[in-house]
Amino acid sequence: MNNNRSERKYRVLSLFSGGMGLDLGLGFTDRFETVACVEKVPTFCKTIRLNQQKGRLSQSLKIIEADISQLSPEQVLDDLGLQAEDIDVIVGGPPCQTFSTAGKRGTTQDPRGTLLWDFLRFVEYIRPKLFLMENVRGLLSAALIHRPIADRPEKGGLPLSEDEKPGSVVRLFASDLAKIDGASYHLDIFEVNSVNYGAPQIRERALFIGNRYNLQVEFPAPTHGQINPGNNSASQPSLFDDVKLQPWKTLGDAIANMQEEIPTVLDFSPRKKRYLGLVPPGSNWRSLPEELQKESMGKAWFAKGGRSGWWRRLTFDLPCPTLITMPNHASTSLCHPTETRALSIREYARIQEFPDEWEFVGTTSEQYRQVGNAVPTRLGVIAGNVIADTLKKISARQIQSVSVNSSEPRIVYVQSHVRTRQWFKNGKVVIWDDNKDNGGAAYGKPKTKRKVRGLESRGA
């Protein structure tokens, strides 16, 4: 991933550094120097310090263990002995579990008191040339105020207010960015999936890239997008007719050759192992006899959707589903393909493409949090090169900072949605819509591979 560039390295301030996946990805480009990282979780900071002590991070990196909500940008710059203009880029992924579609839907209510606006506070004070913020895709549809479904217009309620409409959180965020005095920011948001860029994991994310030059930043098209013909079909085509894409990297590419004498695992209970032991690679609860399905799943068996993760055993032949911080839950199982256990910490690290020598500190649960919540390092590489190329263009053309023409964010959908439901059906790996064992059939091509839109105010 190293490009061996000779240009000067851009100085980065990292916020919400967590497991350092984003920072490592930026470092792999050899175009950035992270001068400081801010992280409040003590064990996460211990991980960063340990790897720095062992020479895996720059010895000049300053590790600031602090709650960012209690930290002033001025204080950080004073500690670094730097001026605001010395920082080229601010990066980070503010924890916004409230907005994740994987969990219970919440609401911000007072967004300017959230970590999202703490990130904006640092941008407003330091005024970097660009910033990169990574977050869950669900943030794009989050509303400032949550209206219970029973009270919504389709149920006879009053029309939604502007703050109750989907996307109002991001609209306010973009509006506040555009209003920064003397350094308003244009915001591009890219919906991407790490698997489409060579990562062995299906992970949809939203990448926010802001700049104070009113430039439209572009994100590269996917480089990967088909099933490996050797695994599933002799004629499996690329997802797009007009582009020759490489095969997706699979779980097998990442971990099949790993050897761990004693894996560090947050494992399944004996009861869970009893059911998982009956499931073949690449399948889930559907492989169990119906009486065992009902017995093991309880009320969830009667649900209409959201069941693909129940008793899921992975396969080496396909990309890994999105890593989560608790791989041993029955309903979101990440069971090893050939061993009846959850994926280990080291396997998680391989899937997120951390260096093999990278070490993690803390309890097993804390280590899963570090790796599972990290930005895939490959996305850090791709986004880092986008930012560095933009900075290089700004410098070469001597582009000056200007006020943005509109606070409307630009959202670019880059084929981020990868359908996986058909991969776990009928007790075997089935990737075709009709569920037949028809290896010559084609995976359905996406209707839209790239779509640009604004996050306009939408009605009920």
Q: Are strands 130-135 and 89-92 parallel, antiparallel or unpaired?
A: parallel
Residue 105 CA to residue 337 CA, distance in Å, equals 31
Is-contact 36 64, C-beta < 8 A? Answer: yes
Residue 64 CA to residue 249 CA, distance in Å, equals 36
Is-contact 322 203, C-beta < 8 A? Answer: yes
| 396 Cβ contact list (under 8 Å, min separation 6) | none
96 catalytic? Reply is yes
Of these residues, 37, 45, 96, 320, which one is catalytic?
96
- Residue 365 DSSP class: H
Count of C-beta atoms within a 10 Å radius of residue 55: 9
What one-character-per-residue DSSP string does 221-290 give?
Answer: PPSEEE--TTTS-TTPPPSSTTS-PEEPP-HHHHHTT---SS----PPPHHHHHHHTTPPTTB-GGGS-H
What ranges make up the beta strands (E) of 370-460?
410-413, 451-454
Phi and psi, residue 175, nearest 5°? -65, -45
**CA 362, chain centre distance (Å):** 22
| Alpha helices in 180-301, H assignment, sequence order | 251-255, 270-276, 290-297
Whose CA is closest to 14, among 37, 46, 40, 48? Answer: 37
Token pair for residue 108?
């911000």
- Residue 72 DSSP class: -
Q: What are the catalytic residues?
A: 96
